[in-house]
Every structure is written in C-alpha cells, then in structure tokens.
Amino acid sequence: MSAGEQANVTAIPAQSPGWFEKLRADVRRAALDKNLERHEPGRGEKISAFFRLNTQVVVAYRFHHWALGVRVPVAGSLLRVGGAVFQRVIGLLTGSYISADAEIGPGLVVHTTYGINVGGTKIGENCTVQSGVLIAAGSRGVGNNVYFGAGAKLIGDASIGDNVVVVANSLVLTDVPDNTTIVGVPARIRLRGGRPQRFKKPQQPPQQNS
C-alpha cells in the first residue's frame, strides 16, 4: 500500500470499554481504596468492596446507564424501569444520586456516601467523590484522575482537567488546568500537583511488660 493510499484509510477509533468492564474497574478501585492502596486486592477483597453500600451507588448508575442504551422492544423498557427503581432505592438508602445520563469512565469510586449529586456531564477515568460533592449537569466535564474532597462543588460553565485534587468544601466556578490542587470559595488558590496523599497511621511502639 502506497503512502497516499495509507493516508486515505479511515482510522478505526478505539473502542471504549463496556459497562461490565467499567464496573470491574470500579470495584477494583473501591477495593484499593479500602486497603489504602497497600497492595493489589484479591478476589475476596473485591467481593467485599462490591457489596459495600457506597459501591452499590456506582453499580446502580452503571446498570441504569447501560439499560438506557438497550433498544430491544419490551426487554429494553423492563430493564430501564428496573434500573430506575434500583437506582432510586439505592439513592434513598445513601442520599446519593448519579444521573444515568452522565458519561463516566472506568474506575469511579464513591468514597463516602450521603449528599452526592452528579449531573449528566462527562467524567473521565478514576474519579473519586466524597460526601456532599456536587457536579452540576451544566459543567463542561471532568478529566481523568480527579479527586473531589467532601463538600466540593463544580457548577457553572466550567471544566476540570486531568490529575486534579479539589480540596474539601471548595467551589469551582472557572476552568481548572491539569496537574493542579485547587482550594477556596470560590476556588482560586491553585497549587502545583494533583494527587491526593495517603497518610499511613504511625506504628505504635511495642508495650513493655512491667
């Protein structure tokens, strides 16, 4: 094939992972979050993480989002109704809601439930949200590897880049660039770097027998 013919070949876009593959990534990250990323979680840890109530918030969203795309007559309608009911029940139990219209990449973690509201926007991979987080439907999207501290809010015509930490109770009203830690109401203080730090518990000195 000549160079000219190669230039005319239409590139095949990379296929995004299906809802089940995304859910597997969600559960793995939930298990990693539980063990503070000390080691790769085993099967038992993943099963335990799956049945945690905060993970069920993600499961309900994934299932309902998938059901909206099923176009099989009757079966699709039943799946959509089932997905909506499942998500409503989980929402009542946790006080958390993720719109089924949202487009969220794999690795979503709800760290702590209650008061979470995620609208129909686009969010990248490995997003972590804590209690009280609001991501409005009117926002222009969230990148990959973004961490929302408790009470953080993204509203208005704003977007967040990759590798960003939104500090607890911060209010984001303007665009946030990649690799940033942002804080404030409104969030104007921008620090370099965007990875939440894990603080291990200090080891207690061995007790001496008297």
Give the fold, CATH level 3, of 19-192.
UDP N-Acetylglucosamine Acyltransferase; domain 1 (2.160.10)
- Could you read off the pLDDT tens digit of each residue along the chain, which spans 210 residues? 444 444 344 444 456 678 889 999 999 999 998 888 888 999 999 999 999 999 999 999 999 999 999 888 888 899 999 999 999 999 999 999 999 999 999 999 999 989 999 999 999 999 999 999 999 998 999 999 999 999 999 998 899 999 999 999 999 999 999 999 999 888 887 777 666 655 444 455 555 554
Indicate the burial class of 203 (C-beta count within 10 angstroms; 0-12, 13-18, 19 or more). exposed
**Taking the domains of the chain in order of start, what are their residue ranges?**
19-192
- pTM > 0.75: yes or no: yes
Closest listed residue to residue 152, CA positions, set 127, 124, 177 = 127
